[in-house]
C-alpha cells in the first residue's frame, strides 16, 4: 500500500509541484471507511485507472461519481470521498498558476468543482489512464506522467509572469511578507494583484495564505499526533490556538479535535498511513 509524493522530471518542475500516488487494496466485502478530504492549496488532475471515487460536498450535499479522470480546483470546503476495494489514484499537483498557463482559463472557474477532465483537456486523457492501468510498477507510472505532462506543457497558452513567482513564494513559504509589500514588489496596484492572483490560484492572496497555513497545521497534527494544539498553532504561524480553531471551523465546520476524530478513521489509517508530510 502506498501514500507518497514524487518529484516530476526536472524539465517539468516549472509546471508540476509533485506527483502523488495513493494505492490501497481492501479485501472483498471489507467495510471501507470514507475520507473527509479537507481544503488544501492545490489544483489537481487525478487519474483513476481502477475503482473511482464517489464524492459528496459537505455544504451542498451534491454527489459526483464514476469519473475516471478528474480535474479539481481550489477547494474551501470538505468533501467526503468513498473509494472502492481496488483503489489507485495518480494525482498531478500543479504549481500555482500552472493550470491557468496550460488552459488559459482563470482558475476561479474551477473552485470547489470536481469535474470530468476531458471537458478541459482532450480525450487523450482516457488513453493516458489506460497506460496507468497497464504500468508494471510505480516507476512506470511516473514515466507515463512525465511523458504526458511534457506533451501538455508544449501547448501552454500563457507565458510565465512575475506574479507566478509570487504565488509560488506563498505556497513554499520562502518569504514572509504582507500583501501590500507583495503588490509593491510586483509593481501592481492592490486591485491588479488581487485579479491576477485569483486567475492563478482561484482565490485572493489572504484566503490562499489561510488555506496554506490550515493545511500545514492539518498535516503537522497527522505527523505528530502527540503535539498539543497550541504547539501546532505556533509552529504554523498562528497567533494562538483560538485562531487555529477559527480556521478549522471556517474550512471544516468543526473544531480541530472534532475533525481529527473523523480523520483518524480515514481509509489510509487501516494501513497505518496518514496524510502528513510525506514528500519524497
Specify the pLDDT at position 109. Answer: 97
pLDDT along the chain (280 residues), means of 10: 95 96 94 96 98 95 97 97 97 97 96 97 96 98 98 91 86 68 75 91 94 96 96 95 96 97 96 78
Specify the pLDDT at position 278. Answer: 56
In a domain, 18, yes or no: yes
What cell was used for 140?
512506470
In a domain, 174, yes or no: no
- Torsions phi, psi of 89, nearest 5? -125, 130
- Give 220's contacts (C-beta < 8 A, 6+ positions apart): 227, 232, 235, 236, 276, 277
Specify the pLDDT at position 175. Answer: 53
- How many structural domains does the chain have? 1
Full residue range of the structural domain in which residue 22 is found: 2-153
In a domain, 49, yes or no: yes
In the block, which residue shows the cell 505527523?
Answer: 223
In a domain, 242, yes or no: no
CATH code of residue 140: 2.60.120
Distance, CA of 169 to CA of 214 (rounded, Å): 17
| DSSP codes, 10-64 | GGGTTTEEEEEEEEEE--TT-----EEE---S-EEEEE-SSB--EEEETTT--EE
What cell was used for 266?
480515514
- Give 29's contacts (C-beta < 8 A, 6+ positions apart): none
Specify the pLDDT at position 95. Answer: 96
What pTM value is reported for the model? 0.95
In a domain, 121, yes or no: yes
Specify the pLDDT at position 188. Answer: 78
Specify the pLDDT at position 255. Answer: 98
In a domain, 57, yes or no: yes
In a domain, 276, yes or no: no
In a domain, 214, yes or no: no
Amino acid at each position: 500500500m502506498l501514500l507518497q509524493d514524487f518529484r516530476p522530471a526536472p524539465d517539468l518542475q516549472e509546471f508540476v509541484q509533485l506527483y502523488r500516488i495513493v494505492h490501497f487494496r481492501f479485501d472483498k466485502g471489507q467495510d471501507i471507511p470514507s475520507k473527509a478530504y479537507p481544503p488544501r492549496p492545490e489544483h489537481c488532475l487525478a487519474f483513476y485507472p481502477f475503482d473511482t471515487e464517489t464524492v459528496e460536498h459537505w455544504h451542498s450535499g451534491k454527489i459526483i461519481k464514476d469519473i475516471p479522470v478528474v480535474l479539481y480546483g481550489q477547494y474551501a470546503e470538505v468533501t467526503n470521498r468513498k473509494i472502492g476495494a481496488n483503489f489507485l489514484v495518480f494525482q498531478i499537483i500543479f504549481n500555482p498558476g500552472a493550470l491557468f498557463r496550460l488552459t488559459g482559463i482563470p482558475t476561479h472557474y474551477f473552485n470547489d468543482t470536481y469535474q470530468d477532465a476531458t471537458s478541459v483537456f482532450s480525450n487523450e486523457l482516457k488513453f493516458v489512464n489506460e497506460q496507468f492501468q497497464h504500468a508494471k510498477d510505480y516507476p512506470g507510472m511516473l514515466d507515463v506522467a512525465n511523458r504526458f505532462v511534457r506533451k501538455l506543457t508544449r501547448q501552454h497558452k500563457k507565458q510565465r509572469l512575475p506574479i507566478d513567482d509570487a504565488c509560488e513564494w506563498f505556497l513554499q513559504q520562502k518569504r514572509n511578507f504582507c500583501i501590500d509589500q507583495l503588490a509593491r514588489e510586483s509593481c501592481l496596484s492592490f486591485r491588479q494583484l488581487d485579479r491576477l492572483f485569483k486567475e492563478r490560484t482561484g482565490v485572493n492572496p489572504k484566503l490562499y495564505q489561510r488555506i496554506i497555513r490550515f493545511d500545514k497545521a492539518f498535516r503537522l497534527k497527522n505527523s505528530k499526533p502527540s503535539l498539543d494544539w497550541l504547539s501546532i498553532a505556533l509552529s504554523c504561524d498562528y497567533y494562538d490556538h483560538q485562531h487555529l480553531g477559527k480556521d478549522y471551523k471556517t474550512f471544516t465546520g468543526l473544531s480541530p479535535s472534532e475533525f481529527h476524530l473523523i480523520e483518524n478513521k480515514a481509509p489510509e489509517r487501516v494501513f497505518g498511513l496518514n496524510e502528513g508530510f510525506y514528500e519524497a
